Amino acid sequence: MSTAATPDPITAGDTDGAGGAETAEGTSILTLTMNPAVDLCWEVEHLEVIGKNRARVRSVAAGGGGINVARHVVRLGGRATAFHTAGGVVGLRLNRLLDEEGIDHVAVGIDDETREALVLFEAGSRHGYHVVPPGPHLHEREGRRSLDALVQAVGSCPYVVASGSLPGGLPDDFYAAVARRIREAGSRLVLDTSGPALRGALTEGVFLLRCNRTEAESMAGRPVRDFEDARALNEHLLTTGAAEIAVTTLGELGALCSTGHGHTELYAPPLPGEPLSDAGAGDSMVAALVTRLAAGEDPVSACALGVAVAAAAMLTPSTEPFDLDVARSLRSQVRTRFRADPRRQGV
């Protein structure tokens, strides 16, 4: 099922004076979610230890990294197709939810059941709890079939976004195989994952790697507290060929965007309200990044929009959609500082 999106002014031009990039209306982005979920969001007034907790259902939606990215790409005025696995009764529900939402998607059937995840929002404390099971177990043949189908789905998409965890049964280097096949198909891979799946992909190299502070510390083997710590990691990722562009997010500080020309510190804007959840911030940021890259914008400007959108996403419970007006207002408040790579000076 396909849907056409009307570009929003937030992506129609650059507010930093870098030029008028075209909208992403004519360019489709493919996202990959190997371990999707049906996200159930419930709300309680106060979470009681004893007795029943009466809850109301806030939302039921298809979820998982790549699916969330595809949803936000469309919200930002781009076009996206979500490629994902689906199995069992929950898998059928996942497909139906995507159809009802109008998200273009391609499902690969698996034997095991797609997972359900629970987001519990406590209204009294305004705290959110994201409870996520590990998900299904895939057979080796299901992994191979998914790879083959993914390559067929790429078509003329210039960017593929692989986001989220891997289900059990797939090897740690599965994303490395994805990167290789995507490169052979003439597309660029944007990767946002964690743990062994992340480390397994570094040997192959990707176009853009986004990691949060937790993932950065796991790779660096030490705390990543500030931009200097992030720069050391990003330099390592670039020099080893793990990524052409490295983006490390630092929570309330912002993000560091590193290319072969140097490192740009992007400072998170002040929030106009109380942060409620960071569950959707990463997917929102990646969606903004790839939407603007597909529209021809430079990585730093694309990342600046990503920082603003991630900040807006923190003002919503769980993975609920960010407010476009808030994201638009925050974009103009993202400050940047460029530090040239001394190895490139004079080139």
Asked if 31 contacts 55 with a C-beta cutoff of 8 angstroms, the reply is no
For residue 8, how far is the Cα from the chain centroid? Answer: 20
Tokens of 314: 């923190």
CA-to-CA dists, residue 76 to 37, 71, 165, 273, angstroms = 23, 9, 24, 22
Place of tokens 């200097």: 228
Residues 6 or more apart from 118 whose CB is under 8 A from it? Answer: 39, 40, 41, 42, 130, 131
Q: Which helix (H) or strand (E) holds 50?
A: none
The neighbour count for residue 338, using CB atoms within 10 Å, is 11
User: What is the DSSP pairing of strand 188-192 with strand 206-211?
Assistant: parallel
The active-site residue out of 283, 298, 325, 341 is 283
Q: What is the Cα gyration radius of the chain? A: 19
Is 173 marked active-site? no
Question: Distance between CA atoms of 212 and 194, rounded to whole angstroms?
Answer: 9
Question: Distance between CA atoms of 300 and 259, rounded to whole angstroms?
Answer: 9
How would DSSP label each residue in 98-165?
Answer: HHHHT-EEEEEE-SSPPEEEEEEEETTTTEEEEE-----B--HHHHHHHHHHHHHHHTT-SEEEEESP
Asked if 136 contacts 114 with a C-beta cutoff of 8 angstroms, the reply is yes
Active site residues: 283
